Amino acid sequence: MRICIVGAGAIGAVIGAKLAVNGHEVVLIARGDHLAAIQARGLTLVDEVDHYSGTYRLPASAEPAQFPIQDVVFVALKAHAIAAMLPRMRPLVAAHTVVVPAINGLPWWYFHREGGPRDGQSLRTLDPQGTMFAALDCARVLGCVVHLAAEVRAPGLVHHTGGRKLLLGEPDRSPSIRLRTVCDALTRAGFEATPSRDIRLDVWTKLLGNLSFNPVAALTGYLMNQICADADVLEVIVAVMREGMKVSAHYGHPMQITVEQRIAIARELGAARISMLQDLEQGRPLELAAIVGSVLELAELAGIAVPATRMVHALVLGRARALGIA
């Protein structure tokens, strides 16, 4: 298949490189020094999970319009960068193209074909200008939840540090042919790609971890295993997770796992430097709106008190403002 990775940073580069190794025609959208390094020397992937490394000469550009229509487009951008990119992606997308947002937090398409009273609604924290639904026909979207960890260690150099799991699902919960096709391609590329019966439940299951672990990592500087080993800090994680579970249950997705089981999933990532800590250390804007702000907005709409989440959000936002990256 023709596959474009829009946002070939840590996660996007891992997905793109492994699909290319498996014979797909992969092109990359990146920027800055990372793009320049990929163009000059290729993309180097050091896979600490499957214990191999390689350098791949893949076509790369900052401009989606430089590439033809694709069969699959993976969007692996930070949440705050997606709105500006969606209109630029139009040259890549035709009626058959599948768009897979492999992103953190609550996705902007969350209420598309949701089937409930908020069907088709957008949230101001995710789409403050109200333009994202218009920029991309959400009929193209296949939901994706990423359970792997990776880091850009230097321009053009990406380390896959943990996990292989990708969960994919149709917004309307249907068992579609395109869902099976994309899952099969990812499975053959070495991922544990599973079709989801309810991708929103999977979004919430991961979001509980992002909602709690990510801001705490940004505040403490801890790696994932250090958070899990610190009993006092873990109490904050538990409080935020419990609040998140109340919100998810209100919107029709009661958790099928306990807080302890969700923490056990996080432990599997080992000594991972999770995304919000990576962003803070590298002076990049934090994904607070998609990961925390969206949950606060949903809680407010539902009249649910989430004091621990509000406190953590205020502290991380203050930290980001002090660093000039808010």
User: Hey, which residues are catalytic here?
Assistant: 206
Q: Which amino acid is at 166?
A: L
Rounded CA-CA distance 77/30 in Å is 10
With helix as H, strand as E and coil as C, how does the chain read? CEEEEECCCHHHHHHHHHHHHCCCEEEEECCHHHHHHHHHHCEEEEECCCCEEEEECCCEECCHHHCCCCCEEEECCCHHHHHHHHHHHHHHCCCCCEEEEECCCCCCCCCCCCCCCCCCCCCCCCCCCCCHHHHCCHHHECEEEEEEEEEEEECCEEEEEEEEEEEEECCCCCCCHHHHHHHHHHHHCCCEEEECCCHHHHHHHHHHHHHHHHHHHHHHCCCHHHHHHCHHHHHHHHHHHHHHHHHHHHCCCCCCCCHHHHHHHHHCCCCCCCHHHHHHHCCCCCCHHHHHHHHHHHHHHHCCCCHHHHHHHHHHHHHHHHHCCC
